[in-house]
């Protein structure tokens, strides 16, 4: 490994100093250096003296490798998989000896290995999970999550209907079903590969007809988390298919359900409607009617939608309501966001929606949120400042950004880190246009930014 690259690795892993402006631009060299560090991590971890820090750096290391290494890195992952523990053997590269073991580092190995297999080899993921399930350890749920997502990513389009059969596939292969934490990634692949919403609606209703007949409310029922995501996807697809209307927000739950039934009659056949009205499905889908009304709003009725945001948000729909508002709100209604930024405990969702809505040429308006003292000590204000600055970097003409390092413009620590990455890091590691909220990352580990200054 060249001296320059070797000296940068430690700074990159600790992610506390802007160093990308010193990188020589060779992605292959950087990727190979990170892989070498991974194989030598037991030695590196001894010098840390902090098991928690060692585990955190170990996870970040594999996240960085996964984003930079291409298909040609399969031999590296194959080597790691040979070292994976089975039936009580030592953990990878004897990390347990140095207390640097992390369940998520093992999960990242499985994910990186699995997603680089050919689609015809995805049975190997199931075989590994079947073997791994024989071990008595606390990290199986994480490993199973990563294996599931990798299996979904390499599933060919002509077999994509199998994605919603994951629980059944686990049962056949004697794999304990995971907790469903990362089904969001599974259904993202399903929506991408089964592109026709009508086909998805038909398949999901059929699947719901099976899973809802079980004791779905039991906490140990493997179909319980799956049923939630099936209903969520069904709601989104029906909202796409029903005719647009400008109806006022229903005044009661009964009125809301009647609106829902009238709307779906336009897109479902009689058999599908009868299934939707079956008692064990109906009482669960009724809760989705409100979200379907939200997702079906158009730019023609934005005022009525905005007026009902407070009522809608009281029912756990703030995030989908804000995302929809970013789509329907006219481009010149800047003052209407003041009310939304005053909402308590909404995480980063308002700023995400604002950045998605703000016209590109109005990027200077974002500076209000990351100006002097904007970050403060409040975590929500810090999230807003970071998100605003990331969006600002992507919208500002390149010629208007500092093109040298260090620059003379006063900046906060987080802004220096983001600017350094945006200008000089390899493309897969640059900050995204809109920063993710922690809740999104918790439900889909593939959305993690390994170098996010906020830690997710």
pLDDT at 259 over 60: yes
Does residue 370 lie within any of the structural domains? Answer: yes
pLDDT at 46 over 70: no
Distance CA 412, CA 18 (A): 12
Does residue 378 lie within any of the structural domains? Answer: yes
Distance CA 80, CA 111 (A): 12
Does residue 205 lie within any of the structural domains? Answer: no
pLDDT recorded at residue 373: 60
Interior/surface letters 281-310, b for 16+ CB within 10 angstroms, e for the rest: beebbeebbbbbbbbbbeeebbeebbebbe
pLDDT at 161 over 50: yes
* Tens-place pLDDT, residues 400-436: 887 665 565 667 888 889 999 999 999 999 999 988 8
pLDDT recorded at residue 115: 95
- Mean pLDDT of the 82-106 span: 53
pLDDT at 87 over 50: no
pLDDT recorded at residue 91: 44
Distance CA 368, CA 154 (A): 43
pLDDT recorded at residue 3: 46
Does residue 359 lie within any of the structural domains? Answer: yes
The two tokens of residue 316 are 């756990």
pLDDT at 279 over 60: yes
pLDDT recorded at residue 374: 61
Domain total of the chain: 1
Does residue 349 lie within any of the structural domains? Answer: yes
Q: What is the mean pLDDT of the chain?
A: 82
Contact call for residues 54 and 101 (beta carbons, < 8 A): no
Does residue 419 lie within any of the structural domains? Answer: yes
Does residue 371 lie within any of the structural domains? Answer: yes
Contact call for residues 51 and 99 (beta carbons, < 8 A): yes
Distance CA 296, CA 285 (A): 16
pLDDT band at residue 394 using 50, 70 and 90 as cut-offs? very high
pTM recorded for the entire structure: 0.88
Percent residues over pLDDT 90 in the chain: 31
Residue 393: give the domain boundaries.
332-456
pLDDT at 306 over 70: yes
pLDDT recorded at residue 85: 58
pLDDT at 93 over 50: no
pLDDT band at residue 102 using 50, 70 and 90 as cut-offs? low
Does residue 379 lie within any of the structural domains? Answer: yes
């Amino acid at each position: 490994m060249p001296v320059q690259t070797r000296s940068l690795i430690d700074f990159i892993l600790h992610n506390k100093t802007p160093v990308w402006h010193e990188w020589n631009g060779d992605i292959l060299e950087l990727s190979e250096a990170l892989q070498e560090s991974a194989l030598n991590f037991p030695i590196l971890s001894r010098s840390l003296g902090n098991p928690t820090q060692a585990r955190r750096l170990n996870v970040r290391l594999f996240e960085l490798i996964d984003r930079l290494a291409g298909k040609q890195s399969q031999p590296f992952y194959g080597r790691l998989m040979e070292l994976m523990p089975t039936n009580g053997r030592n953990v990878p590269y004897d990390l347990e000896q140095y207390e640097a073991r992390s369940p998520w580092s093992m999960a990242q190995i499985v994910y990186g290995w699995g997603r680089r297999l050919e689609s015809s080899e995805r049975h190997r993921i199931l075989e590994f999970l079947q073997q791994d399930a024989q071990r008595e350890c606390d990290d199986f749920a994480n490993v199973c999550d990563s294996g599931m997502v990798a299996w979904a990513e390499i599933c060919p389009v002509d077999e994509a209907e199998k994605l919603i059969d994951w629980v059944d596939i686990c049962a056949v292969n004697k794999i304990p079903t995971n907790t469903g934490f990362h089904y969001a990634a599974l259904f993202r692949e399903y929506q991408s590969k089964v592109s026709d919403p009508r086909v998805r609606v038909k398949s999901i209703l059929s699947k719901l007809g099976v899973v809802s007949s079980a004791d779905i409310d039991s906490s140990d029922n493997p179909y319980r988390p799956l049923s939630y995501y099936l209903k969520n996807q069904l709601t989104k697809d029906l909202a796409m298919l029903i005719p647009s209307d400008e109806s006022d927000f229903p005044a009661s739950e009964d009125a809301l359900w009647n609106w829902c039934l009238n709307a779906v009659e336009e897109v479902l056949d009689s058999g599908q409607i009868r299934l939707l009205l079956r008692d064990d499905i109906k009482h669960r889908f009724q809760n989705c009617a409100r979200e379907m009304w939200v997702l079906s709003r158009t730019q023609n009725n934005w005022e009525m939608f905005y007026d009902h945001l407070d009522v809608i948000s009281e029912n756990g729909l703030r995030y989908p309501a804000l995302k929809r508002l970013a789509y329907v709100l006219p481009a010149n209604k800047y003052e209407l966001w003041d009310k939304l930024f005053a909402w308590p405990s909404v995480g980063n969702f308002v700023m995400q929606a604002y950045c998605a809505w703000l016209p590109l040429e109005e990027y200077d308006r974002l500076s209000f949120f990351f100006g002097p003292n904007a970050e403060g000590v409040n975590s929500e204000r810090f999230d807003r400042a970071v998100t605003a600055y990331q969006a600002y970097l992507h919208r500002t003409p390149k010629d208007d950004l500092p093109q040298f390092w260090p620059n003379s413009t006063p900046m906060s620590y987080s802004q220096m880190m983001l600017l350094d990455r945006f200008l000089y890091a390899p493309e897969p590691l640059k900050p995204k246009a809109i920063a993710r909220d922690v809740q999104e990352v918790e439900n889909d580990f593939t959305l993690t930014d390994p170098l996010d200054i906020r830690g997710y």
